[in-house]
Structure 1
Amino acid sequence: MRRIVLIIALFAVLAPAVAAEASYHAASTGGIVSDLAITADGGYAVAGTGSGKIVCLRQDGTVPWNVSAGSPVTTVAVADAAGRIAAGTSAGGVLLLDGNGNRYWTANVSGGVNGLAFTGDARLLAVAAERITLFDHRGEELWNLSTLAEVRSVAFTKDGNYIVTGSDNGAVHFIGRRGNLLWQALATDAVTAVDISRVQHARSRGRAGGCRTRDRLTGHSLRDVSSPSL
């Protein structure tokens, strides 16, 4: 039986001196949603599905386009600066689309894609899979780097000069945009999410819910936050 999942999307629109207004819309993606990314202005969202579809959902609830990725979509990302959309698949496919769903290029990496990250200007795309791989906006692979374990999460610094990754073995890597490893550290378990704050700190989150903050330049641990016991 074909499984249909309805996405209930909340788009909040903020205007000067006006309280936030929110509207809810339901839209069918035609499959189980594996990941969802929303533009900064809330104008549209992009969903990736287990049935291999990349689906665009507008704020008014309409679906202007959906395209096939050829295999289950595991992760999606949007780049507000250039209106670009990236998707990764369980087969290692990486796709770059424009805002109308037209394909710029397709590439392949080793292993299923777990995470994607754009630089602010959308000229670089980092891919987390068995290795961390960097592509330019034309689809050219600039480099790839092994972290000795599958890479689960990836993020860029705001200036696009550094990349932080989290791996299955609990390793956090801080990498220059040329592929040079600057430092690495160990978390207590597999790192499922990473982020870099504006105040030069790198944060990692594990499967158990704990969060660790490190100095961006040295990798020294600054603060640990454990998940509350249930």
Structure 2
Amino acid sequence: MRPFLHIALCLALLLVPWGVAADERPEPLWDVALGSKVLSTAVSPNGAYVAAGTDANGAMRLFDGEGNQVWEVPTGSPVFQVSISEDGKYVAGASDRVRVVDQNGKVTARIDDDGYFAYSAAISPDGKHVAAGFDNHVFGVYSSGGFAEWMGTLGDDAASLALSRDGRYLVAGSKDDTVSFFGEQGTLLWSYETGKTVGSVALSPDGGYVAAGSMDRQVYFFDRDGTLLWTYEPGEHVFGVAVARDGERVAVAAGHTVTLLDREGEELWTYDAGTTVFSVAITPDAGMIVYGTGGNDNRLVALEGEKIRDAGADRGPVTTPVVSGNRGGENGSTYLADSFVLAGEETESAEGAAVTDVLRRTADADAKVTVRMTVDAAWVAAHGGPDRVKIAACLPDENGEATTEAEAVPTRFVGYDPEDRLIFEGKSPYSLTAYGIVAVAGNPAPMGAFPAIPTLAVPPGGA
């Protein structure tokens, strides 16, 4: 490996960023020369750990808060995205597959999809969920141990992913020029089409704001409902975006620069790195910004940012989708129909079935819903497998009360819960009512509004 020349820090400081006074520009906290292009970066909330993914032969690397390398895990292929848990104990990286690596540099989980290459990976800040996107358009959320929680398909490959703290919300930027925002079990809550590939997405720590960088040379900034709040045009290809707490600061990597924006999309400062900046990350308080470069110089650099305090304290709450139900409590009995009439015949819901979630986009009582239910694997196997299983929605009367007459709704199998029960999701055209799980005879009903779902991994207790 040929040596790379170290550019003196004093020379870098002579470069005055565009439009920023000398006393306002950020200061490098540390600067590390690497032997390969730095394609991806991530930083823990307290700035104590920084993760990087490199090109060439490929490697995942972890550094401490002063730029000292803690470990390196070779991958043999470029690492397109890295993500770090808030305690710094786990790093997820997308390469030939998605790897989860602990603080000692040990690979604790490997996630792949029939040998397809992984373009994107994200780990939830609590470290319990991992998102992965592959080059066959498939993406999904997994447990930290690598078992599928749900999977789906996009119009093209997911180039970037971001997860909320508890793994409930997922943002995807894809090569079909689209930003997509998903709720639990892959429910598409909204999407937005840009002009070109969306190569980077970021979710604020509170999950209230989304930033997306597109190869159409624009940054898009949304609230959680999908409302476009502003766009920013740096005039160069956007390679990375990152969002601080409450959306108060947005960091952008575009061309040779790192730019810090306020919540309204106005420039606070721009820093010229002197070479192409391929990735950027920011701490929740915006006090530290990390970027990675490539081209004529390959470096990992930490900048002093602009700290925000008590950001958003006076701002009202962010509107969220309305979720009803017991989330598994009391066997989901509130919305579980024990018996109903389906296709002219009285039917009992599957033994052991439970309603785990009912989600509505708005608080409107008449809004359509997405319902998720679980059922024992033995019951599914005894009734012909997942393709035979449908969720039945009891028809509401004129007062909105559930009747005994029910209708099967478009249903898909989305994964396993922690007790290895199968999870099914149905889209109901009716307002909130009661639900059951049944097995249908003959040819299974089409998937309806759902994309195709690939075969899922065997659950933890399976063969």
TM bracket (short chain)? 0.7 to 0.9
Match of 2:192 in 1: 145
Higher relative contact order (CA 8 A, sep 6+): 2
Provide the rounded CA distance (Å) in 2 between the counterparts of 1:34 and 1:117: 13
Residue 24 of structure 1 and its aligned partner are, at CA, apart by: 4.9
1:46-69 CA deviation, whole Å, 9 max, x = no partner? 23223xx22233333433332322
- Pair 1:157-2:204 in alignment: yes
Residue 149 of structure 1 and its aligned partner are, at CA, apart by: 1.9
Match of 2:252 in 1: 204
- RMSD value, Cα: 2.7
Match of 2:240 in 1: 193
Residue 106 of structure 1 and its aligned partner are, at CA, apart by: 0.8
Residue 79 of structure 1 and its aligned partner are, at CA, apart by: 0.6
SS across alignment from 1:138: helix
Question: Counterpart amino acid of 1:200?
Answer: E
Provide the rounded CA distance (Å) in 2 between the counterparts of 1:183 and 1:23: 38
- Aligned pair partner of 2:183 in 122, 136, 150: 136
* Contact preservation (8 Å) 2:213, 2:240: yes
In the TM superposition, what are the counterparts of 1:1-230 in structure 2 within 5 Å?
Answer: 7=59, 9-10=61-62, 12=64, 24=70, 27=73, 29=75, 33-50=79-96, 53-70=97-114, 71-81=116-126, 83-129=128-174, 130-198=177-245, 200-206=248-254, 208-216=255-263, 218-228=264-274
The structure richer in strand per residue is 1
1:92-112 CA deviation, whole Å, 9 max, x = no partner? 221211011110011111222
82 and 43 in structure 1: CA distance in 2 versus 1, 3 angstrom threshold: closer
Provide the rounded CA distance (Å) in 1 between the counterparts of 2:72 and 2:244: 33
* Contact preservation (8 Å) 2:122, 2:130: yes
* Contact preservation (8 Å) 1:8, 1:24: no
Provide the rounded CA distance (Å) in 1 between the counterparts of 2:252 and 2:211: 9
Structure 1: any 5+ residue segments left out of the alignment? 15-19
* Contact preservation (8 Å) 2:201, 2:210: yes
TM-score (norm 1): 0.80
Residue 115 of structure 1 and its aligned partner are, at CA, apart by: 1.0
Residue 81 of structure 1 and its aligned partner are, at CA, apart by: 2.1
Question: Counterpart amino acid of 2:273?
Answer: S
The structure richer in helix per residue is 2
Q: How many residues align?
A: 215
* Contact preservation (8 Å) 2:251, 2:258: yes
Residue 9 of structure 1 and its aligned partner are, at CA, apart by: 4.2
Question: Counterpart amino acid of 2:162?
Answer: A
Provide the rounded CA distance (Å) in 2 between the counterparts of 1:8 and 1:153: 18
Question: Counterpart amino acid of 2:250?
Answer: A
TM-score (norm 2): 0.42
Provide the rounded CA distance (Å) in 1 between the counterparts of 2:253 and 2:191: 23
Question: Counterpart amino acid of 1:205?
Answer: A
SS across alignment from 2:107: coil
209 and 32 in structure 1: CA distance in 2 versus 1, 3 angstrom threshold: closer
Question: Counterpart amino acid of 2:253?
Answer: R
Structure 2: any 5+ residue segments left out of the alignment? 1-56, 276-295, 297-463
Residue 73 of structure 1 and its aligned partner are, at CA, apart by: 0.2
Question: Counterpart amino acid of 1:46?
Answer: A
**Structure whose alpha-carbon radius of gyration is higher:** 2
